[in-house]
């Protein structure tokens, strides 16, 4: 079935479900709704209005709504409204049925008082599990891990391990990896589900486990965790404390969310906005997020304008110089942004280490020389043919050559320096690099023009 056919079928199903919901045909609605994938359920739920959602809560149990919330993707501020629509005991019961890490994600979007009230009326065991995860600092491995995993001991047989696996599989978030701990609950190994299935029942776990386990520290940055899971192609990664006690696991679905979140965050900073705007948010909210950056860039732009003003005498003598200001400034901004993107991507993916930083700088320097030289020669010829002034052509060409070389180096050096100072290199956003390179290009261009004024017509 093609994508268009799938979309048409999904729309027909959603329309049918909406009709059943409005007509209050609870049995028929449940029969058709509960067989859907969790993504389709969440998508249908997110498109309902408040009255329709209130009707849905009457049709579904808290555990069934929890299944929706584990997949739901709505703006963070909407969770508060969605939970407020439910009866408090229904909402608390729903949260207790969610996987602990997903429940923590929802509670983190609420006021502390609201989160505390739900935890108070929640099941004690679930509340305690969630409270433990809430203590971990945001954006760390501890904040995204789940404590719903299966662990066994090395002195067990495969038969007894499989018995545990069958008993606890329903509550665990994933069963593809089974972690081996000692009597002190320290992580000593890992066994895959495949190894358990193909091994004889009487085989000892110690004989088939892999003891060189890759793990994450509970305080490790979530972006580093995502890189580790990407490098090793893991479906889950164990999380340990400084004494190697097994605290929880991070599953691949959480890492996908981290990658999406980090990519969105970096894109926001590269665009010089505090957060990527949702299309359904009002213009005042969008303007409030963008204005701080734009005001900073405004003052940087005024610095560029003041530099041009200092070369007013040069412009008065040779007015044609003004024609090439956008060309030189634009080229500087373009090449700087290209170098910036390469540097930030290398830092984000871990490809740029301490040794490879110098290789990156050397490569970008060479790239700047080659691109600057090529563009400089082309511009020199074009300007000479256009205006018939060889010295003007040489001036613009030399300015392009110097500007592109320096701008390329600046685009790669600025994020590396920021990374060295433990500042997010994505803050060295495209607009900032463009503005900085505008200043550099103006200084180079008018500096050379002033120096060789006597040769210009």
Digit-coded pLDDT (tens) for 54-112: 999 999 999 999 999 998 988 777 888 999 999 999 999 999 999 888 899 899 888 88
pLDDT in the model for residue 62: 94
Phi, psi of 351 (to 5 degrees): -70, -25
Structure token pair of residue 34 = 């509960």
CATH of the domain at 392: 1.10.357.20
CATH of the domain at 121: 1.25.60.10
pLDDT in the model for residue 193: 93
Judge whether 276 lies within some domain.
no
DSSP per residue, 361-416: HHHHHHHHHHHHHHHHHHHHHHHHHHH--HHHHHHHHHHHHHHHHHHHHHHHHHHH
Q: Do 176 and 123 share a domain, yes or no?
A: no
Flag whether pLDDT at 25 surpasses 70. Answer: yes
Confidence of residue 335 (pLDDT cuts 50, 70, 90): confident
Flag whether pLDDT at 343 surpasses 90. Answer: no
pLDDT in the model for residue 282: 59
Q: Do 44 and 130 share a domain, yes or no?
A: yes
| Helix%, strand%, coil% for the chain, nearest 5 | 70, 10, 25
Query: pTM value?
Result: 0.63
Total domain count, the chain: 3
Q: Do 52 and 120 share a domain, yes or no?
A: yes
Flag whether pLDDT at 312 surpasses 90. Answer: no
Q: Do 39 and 95 share a domain, yes or no?
A: yes
Domain hosting 335: range is 283-455
Do 116 and 92 touch, CB atoms closer than 8 A? no
pLDDT digits (tens, 9 = 90+) for 383-437: 888 888 888 889 889 999 999 998 888 888 888 887 777 776 666 556 677 778 8
pLDDT in the model for residue 32: 93
pLDDT digits (tens, 9 = 90+) for 199-228: 999 999 999 999 999 999 999 999 889 989
Q: Do 106 and 76 share a domain, yes or no?
A: yes
Q: Do 450 and 317 share a domain, yes or no?
A: yes
Share of the chain above pLDDT 70, in %: 87
Judge whether 272 lies within some domain.
no
- Give the residue from 265, 299, 316 where a domain finishes: 265
pLDDT in the model for residue 167: 92
89: CB partners within 8 A, 6+ apart? 121
Do 64 and 38 touch, CB atoms closer than 8 A? no
Judge whether 145 lies within some domain.
no
């Amino acid at each position: 079935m093609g994508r268009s056919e799938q979309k048409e079928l999904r729309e027909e199903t959603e329309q049918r479900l909406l009709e059943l919901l409005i007509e209050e045909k609870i049995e028929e609605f449940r029969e058709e709704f509960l067989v859907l994938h969790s993504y389709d359920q969440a998508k249908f739920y997110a498109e309902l209005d408040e009255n329709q959602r209130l009707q849905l809560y009457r049709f579904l149990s808290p555990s069934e709504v929890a299944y929706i919330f584990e997949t739901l993707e709505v703006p963070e501020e909407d969770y508060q409204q969605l939970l407020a629509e439910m009866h408090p005991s229904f909402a608390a019961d729903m949260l207790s049925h969610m996987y602990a890490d997903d429940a923590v994600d929802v509670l983190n979007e609420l006021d502390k008082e609201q989160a505390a009230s739900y935890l108070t009326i929640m099941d004690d065991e679930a509340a305690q599990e969630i409270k433990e995860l809430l203590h971990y600092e945001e954006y760390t491995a501890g904040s995204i891990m789940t404590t719903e995993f299966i662990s066994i001991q090395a002195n067990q047989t495969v038969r007894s391990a499989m018995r545990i696996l069958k008993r606890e599989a329903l509550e665990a978030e994933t069963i593809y990896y089974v972690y081996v701990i000692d009597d002190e609950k320290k992580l000593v190994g890992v066994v895959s589900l495949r190894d358990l299935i193909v091994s004889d029942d009487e085989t000892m776990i110690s004989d088939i486990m892999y003891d060189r386990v890759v793990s994450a520290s509970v305080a490790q940055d979530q972006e580093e965790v995502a890189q580790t899971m990407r490098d090793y192609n893991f479906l889950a990664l164990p999380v340990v404390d400084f004494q190697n006690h097994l605290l929880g696991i991070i599953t691949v679905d959480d890492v996908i969310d981290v990658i999406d979140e980090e990519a969105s965050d970096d894109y926001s900073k590269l665009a010089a906005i505090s957060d990527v705007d949702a299309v359904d948010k009002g213009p005042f909210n969008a303007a409030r997020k963008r204005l701080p950056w734009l005001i900073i860039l405004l003052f940087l732009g005024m610095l560029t304008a003041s530099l041009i003003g200092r070369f007013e005498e040069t412009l008065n003598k040779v007015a044609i110089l003004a024609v090439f200001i956008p060309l030189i400034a634009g080229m500087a901004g373009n090449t700087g942004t290209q170098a910036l993107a390469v540097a930030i991507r290398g830092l984000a993916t871990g490809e740029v280490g301490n040794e490879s930083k110098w290789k990156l700088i050397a490569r970008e320097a060479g790239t700047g020389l080659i691109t600057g030289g090529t563009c400089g020669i082309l511009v020199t010829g074009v300007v000479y043919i256009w205006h018939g002034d060889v010295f003007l052509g040489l001036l613009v060409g030399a300015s392009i050559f110097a500007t592109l070389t320096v701008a390329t180096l600046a685009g790669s050096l600025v994020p590396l320096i920021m990374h060295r100072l433990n500042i997010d290199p994505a803050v060295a956003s495209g607009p900032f690099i463009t503005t900085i390179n505008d200043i550099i290009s103006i200084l180079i261009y008018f500096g050379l023009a002033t120096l060789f004024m006597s040769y210009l017509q």
